[in-house]
């Protein structure tokens, strides 16, 4: 049988509405990933660089090698995906997919995954995962990988947000871009009411998705959540939205290159 | 720095209650995985064996290679995990973890993943995934992998269910085991009321986890779910519970070896 390249019938009609819809859908994914990770205790040997058998920590090995495998079959052809270990990626083994490019070429390579990695492991994880070690290292590391990929996709989606906003009103952004004025760009991209609404929505979603559902709804389970809803609100307010705006600013600074 | 082996402080105190609690928690995982997969259309080139670049289909390649990577760091040391491609697994690169064995040695290797694979791709997937091709092949295949792993873990958990039930009342099962009488074992393991309750519970969970959550709750979103709740009830009634009982029967048939 002769082999043929893969191709999709998608076409990129990105609008501010479709970008918003994607961001809202990604909230569900992030919350599902956090809930799944919270099933396991911290399992700290995963993060210990002195564990035998692999270079670095076990979680680093698993993320790096999974990215390498997924790179071979085209994950990082998509401008929505950004690797944590870009220096480690092998070439494609499938024919290239030729995804239509909507981003400005100078902005495509923006990658703040180093910051996301450090924030996730050092600040976020201790907030929602209990102490302990149940030995489920590979499933736990897989949950970490999913959390990292979901957060990275959400935060780097700022490139698309910035592109759409710029195309909508280039005259609003161009003076600050020409002046390379980060502070003005950041204030142009900040809408406190919208951010407050997003924080409330992810808190509500965590209450819905993180509840214990049973047929008889006993009272003692009411108000108990698998992940603290206010923690997810804080995650968005302190990290996800500020980092998304950082990506937007970085993108806009290069938009007229 | 000298490298040390990893170890956990878990001890295996498995009871019928703890097994039930795990099965109930795994329902949430399965439903989250189905909802995530339903975000993407069918993306049929993933399942096409004539696509260039990899042996077999792209999804088969991704599952096989991910299992190989996870095997090296110990996923399949756990008796809860069963690979889809056991013939493909490389040796451990980390020190063995020495998980305490609660299963009877003759039953550990029972693996019905071939049936789970065929059921998932041929019967289940067309029931909850829309037509179309959006080009998101690797994220889609990753969702398939998560669905397969979650279903496989749930179904093979039947080994633990069977072991606990046997230890609880060996005299109930031993005559049928000695007679290698599948039909009697199956009827000993069948509790229609419990199965009906499980079906209702997963339907309710899908309504909760699969709803659109927004701050203002518009009426037009009411009763719309990302995955059809009755489909998940059917998935459990026609496949998950019968296949779990099949694993239990297979396990018990070897329990006195």
Tokens of residue A46, six digits: 């995963």
Model pTM? 0.94
* Phi, psi of B225, deg, nearest 5: -125, 150
What pLDDT is stored for residue B9 in this prediction? 41
* B53 with A95: Cβ contact below 8 A: yes
* A49 with B1: Cβ contact below 8 A: yes
Count Cβ atoms below 10 Å from residue A105 Cβ, excluding itself: 9
ipTM > 0.85 for the complex: yes
Q: Which residue has the higher pLDDT, B12 or B81?
A: B81
Selected for mutation to probe chain A from B22, B54, B209 (highest A CB count within 10 Å) is B209
B59 pLDDT band, cuts 50/70/90, is very high
> B55-87: b or e for each residue (b if 16 or more CB lie within 10 Å)?
eebbbbbbbbbbbbbbbbbbbbbbbbbbbbbee
The answer to whether the CB of A74 falls within 8 A of the CB of A166 is: no
Q: Which of A200-204, B10-14, B16-20, B102-106 has the lowest mean pLDDT?
A: B10-14
* Phi, psi of A213, deg, nearest 5: -105, 120
Q: Which residue has the higher pLDDT, B181 or B14?
A: B181
State how far the Cα of A146 lies from the Cα of A29, in Å rounded to an integer: 9
Q: Which of A98-112, A161-175, A180-194 has the lowest mean pLDDT?
A: A98-112
Q: Ramachandran region of residue A74, left (φ > 0), alpha (ψ -120 to 50) or beta?
A: left
A219 pLDDT band, cuts 50/70/90, is low
Count Cβ atoms below 10 Å from residue B221 Cβ, excluding itself: 13
Residue B7 has pLDDT above 60, yes or no: no
State how far the Cα of B99 lies from the Cα of A133, in Å rounded to an integer: 13
What pLDDT is stored for residue B219 in this prediction? 62
In terms of residues, how long is chain A? Answer: 257
Residue A6 has pLDDT above 80, yes or no: no
* B25 with A2: Cβ contact below 8 A: no
Residue A2 has pLDDT above 80, yes or no: no
Average pLDDT over residues A169-184: 98
What integer best gives the mean pLDDT of chain A? 92
* B136 with A78: Cβ contact below 8 A: yes
CATH code 1.10.590.10 for B16-210+223-253 = yes
pLDDT, tens digit, 9 for 90 and up, residues B94-150:
998 878 889 999 999 999 999 999 999 999 999 999 999 999 999 999 999 999 999
What pLDDT is stored for residue B1 in this prediction? 38
The minimum CA-CA distance between A2 and chain B, rounded to whole Å, is 7
What pLDDT is stored for residue A10 in this prediction? 42
A5 to chain B: which residues are within 8 Å by CB?
51-52
Residue A217 has pLDDT above 50, yes or no: yes
DSSP string, chain A: ---B-----------HHHHHHHHHHHHHHHHHHHHHHHTS---GGGG-TTBTTSSS-HHHHHHHHHHHHHHHTTGGGSTT---S-GGGPPPPSS----PPP-S-HHHHT---HHHHHHHIIIIIHHHH--S---S-HHHHHHHHHHHHHHHHHHHHTHHHHHHHHHHH-HHHHHHHHHTT-HHHHHHHT--HHHHHHHHHHHHHHHHHHTBPP-SS--GGGTT-BSS-HHHHHHIIIIIIHHHHHHHHHHHHHTTT-
What pLDDT is stored for residue B164 in this prediction? 95
A51 to chain B: which residues are within 8 Å by CB?
3-6, 94
pLDDT, tens digit, 9 for 90 and up, residues A61-113:
999 999 999 999 999 999 999 999 999 799 999 988 878 889 999 999 999 99
Per domain, the residue ranges of chain B are: 16-210+223-253
Q: Which of A4-13, A128-137, B199-208, B228-237 has the lowest mean pLDDT?
A: A4-13
């Amino acid at each position: 049988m002769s082999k043929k390249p893969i191709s999709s019938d998608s076409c990129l009609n990105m609008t501010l509405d479709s970008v918003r819809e994607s961001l809202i859908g990604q909230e569900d994914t992030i919350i599902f990933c956090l809930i799944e990770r919270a099933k396991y205790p911290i399992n700290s040997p995963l993060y210990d660089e002195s564990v035998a058998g692999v270079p670095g920590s076990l979680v680093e090995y698993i993320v790096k090698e999974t990215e390498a495998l997924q790179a071979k079959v085209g994950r990082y052809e998509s401008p929505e995906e950004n690797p944590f270990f870009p220096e480690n990626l092998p070439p494609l083994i499938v024919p290239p997919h030729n995804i239509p490019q909507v981003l400005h070429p100078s902005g495509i390579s923006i990658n703040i995954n180093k910051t996301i990695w450090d924030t996730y492991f050092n600040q976020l994880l201790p907030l929602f995962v209990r102490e302990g070690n149940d030995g489920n290292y590979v499933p736990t590391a897989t949950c970490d990988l999913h959390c990292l990929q979901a957060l990275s996709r959400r935060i780097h989606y700022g490139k698309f947000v910035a592109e759409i906003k710029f195309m909508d009103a280039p005259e609003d952004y161009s003076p600050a871009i020409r002046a390379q004025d980060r502070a003005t760009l950041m204030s142009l991209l900040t809408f406190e009411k919208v951010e407050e609404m997003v924080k409330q929505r992810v808190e509500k979603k965590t209450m819905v998705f993180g509840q214990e559902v049973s047929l008889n709804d006993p009272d003692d389970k009411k108000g108990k959540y698998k992940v603290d809803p206010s923690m997810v609100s804080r995650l968005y307010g302190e990290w996800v939205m500020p980092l998304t705006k950082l990506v937007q600013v970085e993108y806009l600074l290069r938009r007229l290159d």
